[in-house]
Amino acid sequence: MQPSWERWITSGAWLATDGQNLPLMPGLMRDALALGLDPDVTPQALIKRISTEQQLAARVLQLANLAANAPLRAVTSIDEAVVRLGTRAVQRALMSACMESWAQPNIYGAEGRALMTHALGTACMAGLVAEAADTDSDEAFAYGLLHDVGKLFLLKLRSDYTRRHRTAPSRPEFDQTVAAHHAEVGEMAMHRWGLPAALREPIRFHHAPLEAPTFGNEASVAYVANRLSHRYGFGCPATPEEPLTEDPICTATGVTEDWLAEVDGKAESLFEGIRKGLH
């Protein structure tokens, strides 16, 4: 008897499939290929492009943390990963990502584009929140970018499930699974990819940071950054009325009326600036 869609996801049965591979969107594949072939590419150019996209960021962080690279400590920021690996190794990783993507159809569509925008907006806000919370802003950018990577995996896994079981989950079933399990799926996938706990925990607990066993401060930064990204409508409907200064997690992370007013005044321009600067 075939497992239900939700059971297949929550049991972790999908880990036995090729669901760990995220195909790149067409525009991203084009840019990644160009960087991979450029003999004069600089580390700065690689860092800028990789910082734009969840898939590339996750792959490069994964590569930097592989046992073969013998890091003395976990690599948790994109710039550190590029410096550790060197431009040639990062170029090879980009080329590999392109080759994988050519073998798979584009499955993201408008949902994927919105998720990318939201991911970048959350990464931008995570850097600001990390400064207020006195935590590492480069690391915050990385887990802010990856906080909803589980949603991308679920889009991919829907295709895998449909191909394997010859039936697709209904839209309500799929949406319910995304809402309930995307953080869990994202953490499971990143664990399989070898990302350190300092990045995985903020992904897993970005909706419930008080439950994070070790990296509660980082999970709180991810939580606040995600709420700010929703507040400003980065890849999602804007919710400016959300009372962030009444949320104890936000206030414990450094969100005050004055701080929020300052961020309100510059969030859009910061986001647009970083989006243009990373392209």
Handedness of CA 234, 238, 244, 245 (dihedral sign): positive
* Model confidence pLDDT, tens digit, residues 29-72: 667 767 777 888 899 888 988 887 887 888 888 888 875 555 56
- What token pair was written down for 20? 């760990």
CATH number for the domain harbouring residue 188: 1.10.3210.10
Could you give the CA distance from residue 218 to residue 201 in angstroms, rounded to a whole number? 8
Q: What is the extent of the structural domain holding 14?
A: 5-277
**Per-residue model confidence (pLDDT) at position 67:** 54
**Per-residue model confidence (pLDDT) at position 159:** 83
**Per-residue model confidence (pLDDT) at position 125:** 95
Could you give the CA distance from residue 20 to residue 83 in angstroms, rounded to a whole number? 25
Tell me the helices (H) and strands (E) count for the chain, helix number first.
Answer: 14, 0
Instruction: Give Cα separations from 75 to 6, 123, 159, 206, 278 (angstroms).
Output: 33, 17, 32, 20, 21
Task: Count up the domains in the chain and report the number.
Answer: 1
**Per-residue model confidence (pLDDT) at position 230:** 96
- Is 215:202 a contact under the CB 8 Å cutoff? yes
Q: Is 119 exposed, middle or buried (0-12, 13-18, 19+ CB in 10 A)?
A: buried
Q: Which contacts of 57-61 are long-range, i.e. CB under 8 A and separated by 24 or more positions?
A: 57/142, 57/145, 57/146, 58/22, 58/146, 58/149, 58/190, 58/193, 58/195, 59/93, 59/97, 59/193, 60/85, 60/90, 60/93, 61/142, 61/195, 61/199
- What token pair was written down for 110? 């408008």
**Per-residue model confidence (pLDDT) at position 22:** 67
Residue of 226, 235, 214, 215 whose CA lies nearest to 255:
226
Phi and psi at 188, nearest 5°, equal: -60, -45
Residue of 229, 238, 241 whose CA lies nearest to 267:
229
Q: Is 105 left (phi over 0), alpha (psi -120 to 50) or beta?
A: beta
Instruction: For the chain, list residues with pLDDT below 50.
Output: 103, 279
Could you give the CA distance from residue 133 to residue 112 in angstroms, rounded to a whole number? 30
pTM here is 0.79
**Per-residue model confidence (pLDDT) at position 227:** 97
**Per-residue model confidence (pLDDT) at position 54:** 80
Phi and psi at 70, nearest 5°, equal: 45, 55
Could you give the CA distance from residue 55 to residue 36 in angstroms, rounded to a whole number? 15
Could you give the CA distance from residue 40 to residue 70 in angstroms, rounded to a whole number? 27
